[in-house]
């Protein structure tokens, strides 16, 4: 047994080393990718219940690696955070999304979704210049700050300090704050007293189990009561079935997002849908 334990340890070490090497490799390639234009943005609609009208779009990044093909943000965003690459990458994401949203507004007017959401990582929030960068990006694109929603996780703002100051500065600009993956991080409820959030994005894990008398349904119900009581907006994430959408609506949810309504769409697909909707 001892032998086997030792062997397993060696395997683990080897894998860890391989992972670290792969991380370092990807980190180096991330720098190249931005210059090469290998990143693109897709946009997933957030809809109103029960009708499914688009109310806003969440920006999600995609990496088309020249050799390895598609790499998901769950893989490379954590690496970009560790290496600090998320700061220039995040600035590119924000500016590209704002320019795109401004273009849709110009082309489609009121038919374009009112708001655009952008995910912002913990590392970005701790950059002292971040709020100033957001202000500059808004000024350069002429985009209305009140139509920008910055999505942050509970974990990113949990330790307070600079991150909370940054959020406060964003609020001063008129930007709205969404707490992402709500209910899965540290101190969910306590955070609501200190964090200037406008929107709670209720995590998919609660939506998944919402049918019947499950604990998730009880929690999802409590969350809608909290958001109503605090005059916040709740968005249910990861809605995959009509049944889930109906249950959420019955529980009092007015906004949802998920594959049942739409997958993330390329800019061309968004334009197509908006064009089709304006013909109706």
CB of 120 to ligand C2E, least distance (A): 6
Of the candidates 46, 87, 93, 116, which one interacts with ligand C2E according to CB under 6 A? 93
Q: Is 264 in the site for ligand C2E (CB under 6 A)?
A: yes
CB of 238 to ligand C2E, least distance (A): 4
Residues 253 and 227: beta-carbon distance below 8 Å = no
Q: Is 224 in the site for ligand C2E (CB under 6 A)?
A: no
Site for ligand C2E in 163-202 (CB under 6 A): 180-181
Calculate the alpha carbon distances from 75 to 71, 93, 227, 247 in Å.
Answer: 7, 17, 32, 33
CB of 155 to ligand C2E, least distance (A): 11
Q: Is 56 in the site for ligand C2E (CB under 6 A)?
A: no
Closest alpha carbon to 87 in 30, 40, 144, 46: 30
Using CB distances below 5 to 8 A depending on partner kind, what does residue 264 bind out of ligand C2E, Ca ion, none? Answer: ligand C2E
Of the candidates 7, 66, 72, 142, which one interacts with ligand C2E according to CB under 6 A? 72
Retrieve residue 157's tokens.
């703002």
Q: Is 60 in the site for ligand C2E (CB under 6 A)?
A: yes
Nearest to ligand C2E of 4, 267 (CB atom): 267
Burial class (CB in 10 A: 0-12, 13-18, 19+), 111: middle
CB of 180 to ligand C2E, least distance (A): 5
Annotate the chain with DSSP letters as a single string. -HHHHHHHHHHHHHHHHHHHHHHHHHHHHHHHHHHHT-EEEEEEEEEETTT--EEEEEEEEEEEETTTEEE-HHHHHHHHHHHSTHHHHHHHHHHHHHHHHHHHHHHHGGGS-SEEEEE--HHHHTSTTHHHHHHHHHHHHT--GGGEEEEEEHHHHHT-THHHHHHHHHHHHT-EEEEEEETSSSSHHHHHHHS--SEEEE-HHHHHT-STT-HHHHHHHHHHHHHHHTT-EEEE----SHHHHHHHHHHT--EE-STTT---B-HHHHHHHHHHHHH-
Residues 134 and 76: beta-carbon distance below 8 Å = no
CB of 188 to ligand C2E, least distance (A): 15
Using CB distances below 5 to 8 A depending on partner kind, what does residue 77 bind out of ligand C2E, Ca ion, none? Answer: ligand C2E
Q: Is 208 in the site for ligand C2E (CB under 6 A)?
A: no
Q: Is 181 in the site for Ca ion (CB under 5 A)?
A: yes
Q: Is 127 in the site for Ca ion (CB under 5 A)?
A: no
Nearest to ligand C2E of 232, 265 (CB atom): 265
Nearest to ligand C2E of 100, 257 (CB atom): 257
CB of 215 to ligand C2E, least distance (A): 20
CB of 44 to ligand C2E, least distance (A): 6
Using CB distances below 5 to 8 A depending on partner kind, what does residue 166 bind out of Ca ion, ligand C2E, none? Answer: none
Positions touching ligand C2E (CB under 6 A) are 44, 59-61, 72-74, 77, 93, 119-121, 180-181, 238-240, 257-259, 264
Positions touching Ca ion (CB under 5 A) are 119, 151, 180-181, 237
């Amino acid at each position: 047994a001892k032998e086997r334990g030792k062997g397993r340890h060696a395997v683990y070490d080897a894998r860890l080393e391989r992972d670290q090497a792969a991380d370092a490799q990807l980190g180096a390639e991330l720098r190249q990718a931005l210059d090469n234009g290998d990143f693109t943005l897709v946009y997933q609609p957030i809809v109103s219940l029960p009708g499914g009208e688009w109310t806003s779009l969440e920006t999600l990044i995609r990496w088309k690696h020249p050799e390895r093909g598609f790499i998901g943000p769950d893989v490379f965003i954590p690496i970009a955070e560790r290496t600090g690459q998320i700061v220039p990458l995040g600035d590119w994401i924000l500016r590209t999304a704002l320019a795109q949203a401004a273009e849709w507004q110009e082309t489609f007017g009121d038919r374009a979704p009112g708001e655009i959401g952008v995910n912002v990582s913990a590392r970005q929030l701790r950059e002292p210049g971040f709020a100033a960068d957001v202000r500059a990006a808004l000024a350069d694109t002429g985009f209305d700050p009140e139509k920008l929603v910055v999505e942050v996780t509970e974990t990113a703002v949990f330790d307070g300090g600079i991150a909370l100051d940054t959020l406060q500065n964003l609020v001063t600009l008129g930007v709205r704050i969404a707490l992402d993956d709500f209910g899965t991080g540290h101190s969910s409820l306590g955070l609501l007293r200190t964090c200037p959030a406008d929107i709670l994005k209720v995590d998919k894990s609660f939506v998944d189990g919402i049918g019947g008398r499950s604990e998730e349904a009880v929690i999802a119900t409590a969350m809608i009561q909290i958001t109503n009581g605090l005059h916040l907006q709740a968005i249910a994430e990861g809605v995959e079935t009509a049944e889930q959408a109906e249950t959420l609506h019955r529980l009092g949810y007015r906004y949802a997002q998920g594959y049942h309504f739409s997958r993330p769409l390329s800019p061309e697909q968004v334009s197509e849908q908006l064009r089709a909707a304006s013909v109706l």
